[in-house]
């Protein structure tokens, strides 16, 4: 079952990543539009703001001072993660795309970053981008499965996974693998698509149908709710476990993507990008409507491994 799913994911990203980069840039994730989603800003800035807001939420006490990050590919003045002051820290970007976050974090923290993806096209492009930005010697990109990572226990200071958890066919194994490769005292940050909590009312048949459509179009096996992620994280266990639902803050992102999909450049690119990419573009409204109805949620799960 995973083999077929993984092939679909690989093909989806192999086929769509260059078009995405051409139209929307190197970040393949939502943007942040203020806590209630009302801030107006340029899409790319919103994506960088999402990274910064997530870092602030997860590492709050660890970050020193404020830095200007407006529109940078990555901030030029870097600083180490305070918890690993003694030298360069090691970050793992799980589901790294073409290395948007990876290069940003490498610059931001003066860190070494390893990125993994299922797509060879993405791994190659990430390497190329790292060289272009002079980060080739501090970054490493490879094709590897997040559920079976080729890394020793306790290898990384920070595990960063931005919008890849929804693709994982076993959410428990996913978090366990992230926990296994995290150093004691290190921080895990998982940001992922969820469905609404189901404690008070189970998903309706219409909601299930809506989710099935999203799964089909974006190559997802299934998603779970934020409280379910929190329960998995509790069992690992994680210290200082914190979760947040940022659906409101990110929902406006889909309006921007839908608008820009109808530019001539995007439509022309779509013509040559294959059926899975075209389907993805035609189905952008699924996510938009999912946020509107409260079915789709944008979840954050973070905490530290026991020292």
Ligand X SMILES: C[S@@+](CC[C@H](N)C(=O)[O-])C[C@H]1O[C@@H](n2cnc3c(N)ncnc32)[C@H](O)[C@@H]1O
- Report in angstroms how near the CB of residue 132 gets to ligand X at its nearest: 17
- Report in angstroms how near the CB of residue 98 gets to ligand X at its nearest: 7
108 near ligand X (CB under 6 A)? no
Nearer to ligand X by Cβ, of 170 and 213: the residue is 170
Cβ atoms 288, 255 nearer than 8 A: yes
Torsion angle, alpha carbons of 26, 28, 30, 33, to 10: 0
Q: 């779509």: which residue's tokens? A: 270
13 near ligand X (CB under 6 A)? yes
DSSP-assigned states of every residue in 108-160 = HHT-EEEEEES-HHHHHHHHHHHHHTT-TTTEEEEE--TTS-SS-TT-EEEEE
Euclidean distance between CA atoms 146 and 182, whole angstroms: 13
186 near ligand X (CB under 6 A)? no
252 near ligand X (CB under 6 A)? no
Half-sphere exposure of 103 (CA within 13 A, CB side): 24
- Report in angstroms how near the CB of residue 169 gets to ligand X at its nearest: 8
Cβ atoms 242, 302 nearer than 8 A: yes
Out of 111, 113, 162, 181, the only residue in the binding site for ligand X (CB under 6 A) is 162
Out of 15, 168, 232, 287, the only residue in the binding site for ligand X (CB under 6 A) is 168
Out of 83, 90, 92, 100, the only residue in the binding site for ligand X (CB under 6 A) is 100
Nearer to ligand X by Cβ, of 121 and 244: the residue is 121
Q: Which residue in 73, 95, 132, 93 sits closest to 12, CA to CA?
A: 95
Q: 């997040």: which residue's tokens? A: 146
Out of 42, 145, 170, 259, the only residue in the binding site for ligand X (CB under 6 A) is 145
Euclidean distance between CA atoms 271 and 78, whole angstroms: 41
Omega of the bond leading into 237 within 30 degrees of 0 (cis)? yes
Collect all residues with Cβ–Cβ distance below 8 Å to 204 and sequence separation of at least 6. Answer: none
Give the distance, in angstroms, between the CA of residue 151 and the centroid of all CA atoms in the same chain: 20
Cβ atoms 8, 219 nearer than 8 A: yes
Out of 8, 83, 89, 117, the only residue in the binding site for ligand X (CB under 6 A) is 117
- Report in angstroms how near the CB of residue 107 gets to ligand X at its nearest: 15
119 near ligand X (CB under 6 A)? yes
Nearer to ligand X by Cβ, of 206 and 213: the residue is 213
Nearer to ligand X by Cβ, of 151 and 203: the residue is 151
Nearer to ligand X by Cβ, of 86 and 150: the residue is 150
Nearer to ligand X by Cβ, of 89 and 160: the residue is 160
Name 161's bridge partners.
190
Binding window for ligand X (CB under 6 A); candidates: 22-30, 36-44, 245-253, 281-289: 22-30
118 near ligand X (CB under 6 A)? yes
Q: 């003694």: which residue's tokens? A: 86
Binding window for ligand X (CB under 6 A); candidates: 97-105, 201-209, 259-267, 283-291: 97-105
Euclidean distance between CA atoms 196 and 229, whole angstroms: 12
Cβ atoms 143, 123 nearer than 8 A: yes
Out of 43, 167, 196, 305, the only residue in the binding site for ligand X (CB under 6 A) is 167
122 near ligand X (CB under 6 A)? yes
Residue numbers at the binding site for ligand X (CB under 6 A): 9, 13, 27-29, 95-97, 100-101, 116-119, 122, 145-147, 162-164, 167-168
């Amino acid at each position: 079952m995973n083999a077929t799913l993984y092939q679909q994911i690989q093909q989806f990203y192999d086929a769509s990543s260059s078009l995405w980069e051409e139209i929307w840039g190197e970040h393949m994730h939502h943007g942040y539009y203020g806590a209630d989603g009302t801030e107006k800003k340029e899409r790319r800035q919103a994506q960088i703001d999402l990274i910064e807001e997530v870092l602030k939420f997860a590492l709050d006490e660890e970050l020193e001072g404020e830095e200007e990050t407006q529109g940078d590919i990555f901030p030029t003045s870097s600083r180490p993660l305070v918890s690993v002051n003694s030298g360069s820290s090691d970050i793992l970007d799980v589901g790294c795309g073409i290395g948007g976050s990876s290069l940003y974090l490498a610059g931001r923290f003066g860190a070494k970053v390893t990125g993994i993806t299922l797509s060879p096209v993405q791994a190659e492009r990430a390497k190329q981008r790292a060289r272009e930005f002079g980060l080739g010697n501090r970054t490493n990109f490879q094709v590897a499965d997040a559920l079976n990572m080729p890394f020793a226990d306790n290898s990384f200071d920070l595990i960063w996974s931005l919008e890849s958890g929804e693709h994982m066919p076993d959410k428990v194994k996913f978090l366990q693998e992230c926990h296994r490769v995290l150093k004691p005292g290190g921080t895990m940050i998982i940001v992922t698509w969820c469905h609404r909590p189901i404690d008070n009312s189970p998903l309706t048949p219409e909601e299930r149908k809506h989710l099935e459509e999203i799964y089909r179009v974006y190559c997802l096996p299934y998603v779970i709710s934020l409280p379910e992620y929190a329960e998995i994280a509790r069992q690992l266990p994680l210290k200082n476990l914190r979760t947040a639902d940022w659906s409101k803050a990110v929902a406006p992102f889909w309006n921007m993507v839908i608008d820009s999909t109808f530019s001539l450049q995007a439509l022309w690119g779509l013509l040559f990008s294959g059926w899975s990419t075209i389907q993805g573009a035609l189905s952008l409204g699924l996510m938009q409507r999912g946020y509107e109805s409260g079915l789709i949620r944008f979840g954050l799960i973070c905490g530290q491994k026991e020292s």
